Amino acid sequence: MRTILHVGDFGIRPERSGKGFPASVDFWCKNTRIDRVLVAPGSHEDWNRLDGWLAGAPGRPVQISGNVRVLPRGLRFSLGGATYMSFGGAASVDCELRVPGKEWWLAEIPTDHDAAAAIAGCPVDVLITPF
């Protein structure tokens, strides 16, 4: 299975509420024989939407289009014989210049609980994080 690992700022934004962007990614995946795109979300994503999607599938990737799956924080998985952990999100250092709920979200910042849960799991070979 051919997989792309995308780290941070995929473009899950309020103004991209339609299927245009994920459909474009699906188109290019099909034309380049990529089977899936696994996304560790960044700081500039619509975390209100992400949290809703991820709450509906606790501990599992959320498929947002034919080829694109968003990974929850702390998810461990195997790929090509290596173990990975996704730990998305980051603090927007320019949040004072952004509109809350439209250009930045408090939920983009991982909590102490998120970090503790991730640390409590088994070791991994690769950490996928936009930090």
At residue 124, the 3 state secondary structure works out as coil
Stretch 103-125: mean pLDDT, rounded?
A: 93
pLDDT score recorded for residue 16: 58
- The candidate with the shortest Cα–Cα distance to 41, out of 78, 92, 101, 102, is 92
pLDDT score recorded for residue 18: 55
Dihedral sign, CA of 34, 19, 13, 72? negative
Structure token pair of residue 121 = 């799991």
- The candidate with the shortest Cα–Cα distance to 106, out of 124, 121, 92, 86, is 92
To the question of pTM greater than 0.85 for the whole model, the response is yes
